[in-house]
Amino acid sequence: PKEIFLKDYKQPDYFFDNVYLKFTLGEEKTIVSSKIVVSPRLEGSISPLVLDGVDLKLISLHVNGKELKNDDFRVDSRHLTLTSPPIEKFTLEIVTEICTQTNTSLEGLYKSSGNFCTECEAEGFRKITFYQDRPDIMAKYTCRIEADKSLYPVLLSNGNLIEQGDLEGGKHYVIWEDPHVKPCYLFALVAGQLESRDDTFVTRSGRKVALRIWAPAQDLPKTAHAMQNLKNGPVTLDTVFGLEYDLDLFNIVAIPDYLGAMENKSLNIFNSNLVLASPETATDVDYAAILGAIGHEYAHNWTGNRVTCRDWFQLSLKEGLTVFRDQEFSSDMGSRTVKRISDVSKLRIYQFPQDAGPMAHSVRPHSYIKGAEVVRMYKTLLGTSGFRKGMDLYFKRHDGQAVTCEDFFAAMRDANGADFSNFLLWYSQAGTPRLKVTSTYNAEAKTYSLKFKQEVPATPGQPVKEPMFIPVALGLLGSNGNDIPINSAYHDGKLEIITSNGQPGHTTILRVTKKEEEFVFNDIPERPVPSILRGYSAPVRMDSDLTDADLYFLLANDCDEFNRWEAGQILARKLMLSLVSDFQQNKSLVLNQKFLHGVKSILGDSSLDKEFIAKAITLPGEGEIMDTMEVADPDAVHSVRSFILKQLASELKQEFINTVKSNRSSEPYEFDHQNLARRALKNIALAYLGTLEDEAITELALHEYRTATNLTEQFAALVALDQIPGKIRDEVLADFYDKWQHDFLIRSDDIISYHIK
Q: Which residues are catalytic?
A: 297
DSSP code for 669? P
Question: How far is 576 from 570, CA to CA, in rounded Å?
Answer: 10
C-alpha 261/C-alpha 269 separation (Å) is 6
Beta carbon nearer to ligand DPP, 370 or 564: 370
Site string for Zn ion, 299-338 (x = CB under 5 A): --------------------x--x----------------
Beta-strand ranges (E) seen in 557-610 are none
Specify the stretch interacting with ligand DPP by CB under 6 A; choose among 32-40, 257-265, 400-408, 525-533.
Answer: 257-265
Stretch that binds ligand DPP, among 188-196, 255-263, 575-583, 724-732 (CB under 6 A): 255-263
* 755 phi-psi bin (left φ>0, alpha ψ -120 to 50, beta other): alpha
d(CA 184, CA 497): 50
Q: Closest distance between ligand DPP and the C-beta of residue 670, in Å? A: 27
Cβ–Cβ under 8 Å, residues 369 and 350:
yes
The nearer residue to ligand DPP, 302 or 688, going by C-beta atoms, is 302
> Quick one: which H or E segment has residue 226?
helix 224-241
Binder of residue 609, out of ligand DPP, Zn ion, none (CB less than 5 to 8 A by kind): none
Closest residue by Cα to residue 206 from 174, 169, 244: 244
* 623 near ligand DPP, judged by CB under 6 A: no
Cβ of residue 322: shortest distance to Zn ion, in angstroms?
5
Residue from 32, 94, 237, 261 binding ligand DPP (CB under 6 A) = 261
Among 189, 262, 275, 381, binds ligand DPP (CB under 6 A): 262
Enumerate the β-bridge partners of residue 60: 95
Q: How many residues bind ligand DPP (CB under 6 A)?
A: 7
**Closer CB to ligand DPP, 274 or 689, in the complex:** 274
H/E element holding 358? Answer: none
Give the separation between CA 439 and CA 498, rounded to whole angstroms: 18
Q: Give me the amino acid identity at 78.
A: R
* Contacting residue, 242, 260, 623, 725, with ligand DPP by CB under 6 A: 260
The alpha carbon of residue 424 and the mean position of all alpha carbons in its chain are separated, in whole angstroms, by: 22
Half-sphere exposure of 534 (CA within 13 A, CB side): 24
Listed residue (244, 255, 328, 346) closest to 291, CA to CA: 328
- Site track 264-303 with ligand DPP (rule: CB under 6 A), x = hit: --------------------------------xx------
Measured from the CB of residue 202, what is the shortest distance to ligand DPP in angstroms?
26
Work out how close the CB of 532 gets to ligand DPP at its nearest, in angstroms, rounded to a whole number: 33
CB of 315 to ligand DPP, least distance (A): 9
Site string for ligand DPP, 105-124 (x = CB under 6 A): ----------------x---
First to last CA, the chain: 43
Binding span for ligand DPP by CB under 6 A among 192-200, 256-264, 590-598, 650-658: 256-264
CA distance 47 to 29: 34
Q: Determine if the peptide bond prior to 147 is cis (ω within 30°).
A: no
Footprint on residues 295-354 left by ligand DPP (CB under 6 A): 296-297
For residues 62 and 70, the answer to whether their CB atoms sit within 8 Å is: no
Q: CB under 5 to 8 A by kind: which of ligand DPP, Zn ion, none does 407 bind?
A: none
Nearest residue (beta carbon) to ligand DPP: 260
Query: Could you say which of Zn ion, ligand DPP, none residue 114 binds, taking C-beta under 5 to 8 angstroms by partner kind?
Result: none
Report the DSSP pairing between strands 208-215 and 249-255.
parallel
The rounded distance, in Å, linking the Cα atoms of 253 and 194 is 9
- Answer with the entry of Zn ion, ligand DPP, none that 542 interacts with (C-beta below 5 to 8 A by kind): none
Whole-angstrom Cα distance, residue 506 to residue 427? 30
Residues 528, 553: Cα–Cα separation, whole Å? 11
**Residue with Cβ nearer Zn ion (56 or 253):** 253
- Binding partner of 483, given ligand DPP, Zn ion, none, CB within 5-8 angstroms per partner class: none
CB of 326 to Zn ion, least distance (A): 8
- Which one, 268 or 714, has the nearer CB to ligand DPP? 268
Cβ 157 vs Cβ 245: under 8 Å: no
Q: Residue 720: which of Zn ion, ligand DPP, none does it interact with, CB under 5 to 8 A by kind?
A: none
Determine how many CB atoms are found less than 10 A away from the CB of residue 544.
18
CA–CA dist 158, 188 (Å, integer): 6
Task: Give CA–CA dist 224/347, Å, rounded.
Answer: 31
Of the listed pieces 260-268, 328-336, 402-410, 669-677, which binds ligand DPP according to CB under 6 A?
260-268
Residue 144 or 370 having the CB closest to Zn ion: 370
Sheet of 434-442: strand order equals 494-497, 488-491, 516-521, 447-455, 434-442, 541-544
Of 4 and 106, the one with the shorter C-beta distance to ligand DPP is 106
389 binds, among Zn ion, ligand DPP, none (CB under 5 to 8 A by kind): none
Whether the Cβ atoms of residue 713 and residue 682 lie closer than 8 Å to each other: yes
Q: How far is the CB of 107 from ligand DPP (least distance, A)?
A: 12
Contact 592, 574 (CB under 8 A): no
Name the minimum Å distance from CB 364 to ligand DPP: 16
Instruction: Give which of 437, 430, 424, 439 is closest to 469, Cα–Cα.
Output: 424
Neighbours of 748 (CB within 10 A): 10
Rounded to 5 degrees, what angle do the CA atoms 693, 697, 702 make? Answer: 115
Please state, as a whole number, how many other Cβ atoms lie within 10 Å of the Cβ of residue 622. 16
Query: In the complex, what is the shortest distance from the CB of residue 295 to ligand DPP, in angstroms, rounded to a whole number?
Result: 11
Stretch that binds ligand DPP, among 41-49, 259-267, 385-393, 420-428 (CB under 6 A): 259-267
Task: Residue 260: name its binding partner from Zn ion, ligand DPP, none (Cβ under 5 to 8 Å by kind).
Answer: ligand DPP
Measured distance CA(501)–CA(507) in Å, rounded: 7
Residue number with CB closer to ligand DPP (320 or 431): 320
Tell me, residue by residue from 117 to 156, as one string, x for binding to ligand DPP by CB under 6 A and - for no binding: ----x-----------------------------------
Least distance to Zn ion, CB of residue 201, Å: 21
Question: Could you tell me the smallest distance in angstroms from the CB atom of residue 252 to ligand DPP?
Answer: 13
# residues contacting Zn ion (CB under 5 A)? 2
Q: Which of 133, 178, 263, 558 binds ligand DPP (CB under 6 A)?
A: 263
Contact residues toward ligand DPP (CB under 6 A) are 121, 260-263, 296-297
Interacting residues toward Zn ion by CB under 5 A: 319, 322
